[in-house]
C-alpha cells in the first residue's frame, strides 16, 4: 500500500506529538497540584475563625469550575464589569459583609449583594437563585461552590501579586 506524504506526516509526526503533549499536560498538572503544600491550601472557613484545608482535588475542581463559570468576568481575579472591586483578599475583606471566607463566598454565590451589602444583585450577578438568567450556575453543587470559593482564596497565596490585577514583585 502506498502512503501519501500527508498520511506519513500524520502517522509518524503529528499523532506522536499530540500524544506526547497530552502526556506532558497530565504529568505537569499532577506535579503542580502535588506541589501545593498544606499551609497554602489552608484558608478561612467562616467568620468565627475556623479554618479548612482543601485537598488538591478540591483545588483542581475549584479551578475548573471557576474557569468555566466565573472567569469570563473574573479572569485572574479581576472584575471586568467593575475593576475597582476585584477578588483580592483586601477587597473581599472590605465588603459588607466581608467575603473573605469559604462560607461568605458561598453565601454570596447563593445570595449576591452589592459591595456595601445593601442591594440584592441576583438579577445581575450569577447566583444559584437565578439559574434561569445564569444557566452556568444550574449544575453547581454546594461542593462546587465551596471549591470555587477555595480557588478564589488560595490563588493569592499561589500567584501572589498577579492575582486580581496586581503586578509581580521583582
Q: What is the largest CA-CA distance in the chain?
A: 74
Contact 64, 136 (CB under 8 A): no
Domain spanning 39-165: CATH 1.25.40.850: no
Q: How many residues belong to the chain?
A: 170
Alpha carbons 145 and 150: distance in angstroms, whole number: 8
Give me the numbers of helices (H) and strands (E) for the chain, helices first please: 8, 2
Using DSSP's 3-state secondary structure scheme, residue 169 falls into coil
**The three three-digit cell numbers of residue 101, written as one number:** 471566607
Looking up cell 479554618 gives 51
Q: Give residue-wise pLDDT tens across range 132-155.
A: 989 999 999 999 999 999 999 999
Q: Give residue-wise pLDDT tens across range 41-73.
A: 999 999 999 999 999 999 999 999 999 999 999
| Res 117: pLDDT | 95
Q: How far is CA 146 from the centre of its chain?
A: 11
Using DSSP's 3-state secondary structure scheme, residue 18 falls into helix
- What one-character DSSP code corresponds to residue 14? I
Q: Give residue-wise pLDDT tens across range 89-115.
A: 999 999 999 999 999 999 999 999 999
Alpha carbons 121 and 112: distance in angstroms, whole number: 5
**The three three-digit cell numbers of residue 141, written as one number:** 453543587
In what helix (H) or strand (E) does residue 67 lie, and over which residues does it extend? helix 56-69
Alpha carbons 51 and 28: distance in angstroms, whole number: 29
**What distances in angstroms separate CA 136 from CA 26, 45, 46, 143, 150, one per listed residue?**
26, 25, 26, 15, 19
pTM exceeding 0.85 = no
Amino acid at each position: 500500500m502506498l502512503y501519501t506524504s500527508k498520511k506519513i506526516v500524520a502517522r509518524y509526526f503529528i499523532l506522536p506529538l499530540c500524544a506526547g503533549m497530552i502526556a506532558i499536560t497530565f504529568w505537569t498538572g499532577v506535579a503542580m497540584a502535588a506541589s501545593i503544600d498544606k499551609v497554602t491550601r489552608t484558608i478561612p472557613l467562616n467568620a468565627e475563625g475556623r479554618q479548612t484545608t482543601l485537598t488538591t482535588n478540591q483545588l483542581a475542581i475549584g479551578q475548573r469550575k471557576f474557569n468555566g463559570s466565573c472567569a469570563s468576568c473574573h479572569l485572574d481575579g479581576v472584575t471586568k464589569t467593575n475593576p475597582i472591586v476585584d477578588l483580592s483578599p483586601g477587597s473581599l475583606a472590605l465588603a459588607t459583609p466581608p467575603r473573605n471566607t469559604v462560607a461568605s463566598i458561598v453565601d454570596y454565590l447563593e445570595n449576591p449583594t452589592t459591595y456595601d451589602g445593601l442591594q440584592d444583585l441576583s438579577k445581575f450577578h450569577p447566583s444559584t437563585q437565578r439559574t434561569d438568567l445564569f444557566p452556568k450556575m444550574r449544575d453547581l453543587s454546594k461542593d462546587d461552590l465551596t471549591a470555587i470559593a477555595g480557588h478564589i482564596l488560595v490563588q493569592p497565596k499561589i500567584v501572589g501579586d498577579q492575582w486580581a490585577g496586581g503586578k509581580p514583585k521583582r
